[in-house]
């Protein structure tokens, strides 16, 4: 299995949303960098721009100003050309496929690149690790929100992506499950992934190598003051 490694950076990122006469400045000139092997926590109040930044970094949205760059095996690439092995995302709204079982949702990245059989043991291990093994055959609508969120994290981790972006991945978890997810995220970084997670969980900040604080579209190093 080809394993990609690389980091990411954004420089001078500006993103505005226009709705009629109103313009929301979601990102007001953000510099950000995450190296391969680094676990960075992105914190900040609701509406401060965390999800917008992740949307730019994964290629879902385009910046009005500024530039993105990826390094290592991802050098010279645009984010909208990445597959799950290059960049894996846990969206805030999870984005599970409604007509696939939970196990098949976890296996989706393997199915897309034709390595289903090879990834079955890892998918089973992630399901067990996240307390989902007894739910493997259920569909997303038959699982709790916390269970669905753990599926979305397992799906993102399956192929040991070069870049892992996760938007509040422990938001719907009790402490025990949150810690298990954070263990897995930390392990991904120790294994070489560049990890950036938006989170309101102070125990996640404590485990990160670095914390970045977002406020009103501006980003600063360190925990919020």
Ligand X SMILES: Nc1ncnc2c1ncn2[C@@H]1O[C@H](COP(=O)(O)OP(=O)(O)OP(=O)(O)O)[C@@H](O)[C@H]1O
Q: Are strands 65-70 and 8-19 parallel, antiparallel or unpaired?
A: antiparallel
By CB under 6 A, name the one of 8, 26, 211, 219 that touches ligand X: 26
State yes or no: residue 17 binds ligand X (CB under 6 A): yes
- Report d(CA 102, CA 153) in Å as an integer: 12
CB of 20 to ligand X, least distance (A): 11
* Angle made by CA atoms 79, 162, 26, in degrees to the nearest 5: 45
State yes or no: residue 49 binds ligand X (CB under 6 A): yes
The token duo for 195 is 């990890």
| Residue in 26, 40, 57 with CA at minimum distance from that of residue 199 | 40
Give me the phi and psi of 163, to 5 degrees please. Answer: -120, 130
3-state SS, 154-199, equals: HHHHCCCCCEEEEECCCCCCCHHHHHHHHHHHHHHHHCCCEEEEEC
Give me the phi and psi of 91, to 5 degrees please. Answer: -70, 155
- Report d(CA 138, CA 158) in Å as an integer: 19
Stretch touching Mg ion by CB under 5 A, among 56-64, 85-93, 134-142, 209-217: 85-93
CB of 198 to ligand X, least distance (A): 6
State yes or no: residue 224 binds ligand X (CB under 6 A): no
State yes or no: residue 169 binds ligand X (CB under 6 A): no
Closest to ligand X by CB, 193 or 213: 213
State yes or no: residue 47 binds ligand X (CB under 6 A): yes
**Number of chain residues interacting with ligand X (CB under 6 A):** 13
Give me the phi and psi of 213, to 5 degrees please. Answer: -110, 130
Binding mask 25-54 for Mg ion (x = CB under 5 A): -------------------------xx---
Residue 26 binding target from Mg ion, ligand X, none, CB below 5 to 8 Å by type: ligand X
By CB under 6 A, name the one of 30, 36, 43, 48 that touches ligand X: 48
Q: Are strands 194-198 and 8-19 parallel, antiparallel or unpaired?
A: unpaired
Stretch touching Mg ion by CB under 5 A, among 16-24, 88-96, 115-123, 188-196: 88-96
By CB under 6 A, name the one of 30, 34, 43, 51 that touches ligand X: 51
Interacting residues with Mg ion (CB under 5 A): 50-51, 92
Interacting residues with ligand X (CB under 6 A): 17, 19, 24, 26, 44, 46-52, 92
């Amino acid at each position: 299995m080809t394993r990609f490694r690389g980091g990411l950076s954004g420089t001078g990122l500006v993103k505005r949303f226009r709705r009629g006469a109103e313009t929301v400045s979601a990102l007001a000139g953000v510099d950000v960098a995450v190296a391969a092997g680094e676990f960075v926590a992105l914190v900040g109040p609701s509406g401060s721009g965390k999800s917008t930044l992740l949307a730019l970094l994964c290629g879902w949205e385009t910046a009005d100003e500024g530039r993105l760059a990826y390094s290592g095996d991802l050098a010279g690439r645009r984010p909208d050309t990445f597959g799950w092995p290059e960049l894996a995302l846990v969206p805030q709204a999870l984005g599970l496929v409604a007509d696939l079982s939970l196990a098949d949702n976890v296996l989706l990245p393997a199915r897309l690149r034709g390595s289903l059989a090879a990834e079955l043991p890892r998918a089973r291990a992630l399901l067990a690790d996240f307390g989902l093994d007894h739910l493997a055959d259920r569909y997303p609508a038959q699982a709790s929100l916390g269970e669905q969120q753990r599926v979305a994290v397992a799906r993102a981790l399956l192929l040991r992506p070069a870049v892992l972006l996760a938007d509040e991945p422990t938001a719907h978890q009790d402490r025990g499950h949150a810690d298990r997810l954070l263990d897995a995220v930390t392990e991904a970084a120790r294994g070489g992934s560049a990890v950036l997670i938006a989170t309101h969980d102070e125990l996640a900040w404590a485990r990160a190598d670095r914390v970045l604080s977002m406020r009103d579209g501006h980003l600063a190093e360190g925990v919020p003051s």
